[in-house]
Amino acid sequence: MILLLALAGGLPVGLAGSHWRGRAYQPPELRVIWLAFLSFLPQFLLLYVPQLGDSVSARMFSLCLQFSMVMLALFAWLNRRVPGMKTLLVGLALNFLVIACNGGFMPIAPHTAGELVSAQARADLQPGERFGAKDVILRPEETRFEWLADRFLTPGGLPYRAAFSLGDVFIAFGAFSMLALPGLIKTKE
């Protein structure tokens, strides 16, 4: 989700920057763009096709999510010369590290998860249980690389609250930069 929001924010900034500079917006030249779409397919199917997501074991779900991350990392690596892609790669690596070291899901502390649910649901949160689609509740002291877990929260006044990680920040900044910078930086003509 954070990646899509960053892309949706970067494009208007790039377009506005190009307009302000009086030139046409030149989107980044991306290689094997089909790989980016392919990387989202497992997540899309598991998260938005309820029959499929419900019928897959937690282990298979985790493997599909990790496969999706590896495919996106491959796409980013093949496009590493595009501004923002190296930053995106760092974010993917950080997220992959914490996920792989904590059983295949992104760890989230009980108190962080508790901020995202009602008071009644907060009482039912148990360490080791899945939280949402991609997270697992783990106590900070039981989490490997806890500083890379979903530990930050979007501001409370927003209509949709979510937890995010340091890796997500890098991913978002990289994706935003990829689309915003072509409109903001002077190119050789």
DSSP character string of 33-91: HHHHHHHHHHHHHHHH-HHHHHHS-HHHHHHHHHHHHHHHHHHHHHTTTSTTHHHHHHH
State the chain's mean pLDDT as an integer: 92
pLDDT tens-digit readout, 105-161: 999 999 999 999 988 888 888 999 999 889 999 999 999 999 999 999 998 888 888
Q: Tell me, yes or no, whether 82 lies in a domain.
A: yes
Residues 32-56, mean pLDDT to the nearest whole number: 88
Domain count, the chain: 1
Q: Tell me, yes or no, whether 105 lies in a domain.
A: yes
Q: Tell me, yes or no, whether 57 lies in a domain.
A: yes
In terms of residue numbers, what domain contains 109? 2-184
Cα 68 from Cα 73, distance rounded (Å) = 9
* Model pLDDT, residue 82: 96
Residues 27-47, mean pLDDT to the nearest whole number: 92
Q: Tell me, yes or no, whether 60 lies in a domain.
A: yes
pLDDT tens-digit readout, 59-93: 999 999 999 999 999 999 999 999 999 999 999 99
Evaluate if residue 166 carries a pLDDT over 80: yes
Percent of the chain with pLDDT over 90: 74
* Model pLDDT, residue 1: 72
Q: Tell me, yes or no, whether 40 lies in a domain.
A: yes
Q: Tell me, yes or no, whether 189 lies in a domain.
A: no
pLDDT band, very low/low/confident/very high, at 12 (cuts 50, 70, 90): very high
Question: In this predicted structure, which of 78-82, 128-132, 177-181, 183-187 has the lowest mean pLDDT?
Answer: 183-187
Q: Tell me, yes or no, whether 152 lies in a domain.
A: yes
Task: From 1, 3, 27, select the one nearest 176 (Cα to Cα).
Answer: 3
pLDDT band, very low/low/confident/very high, at 56 (cuts 50, 70, 90): confident
CA distances from 153 to 73, 80, 169, 188 (A): 25, 29, 12, 40
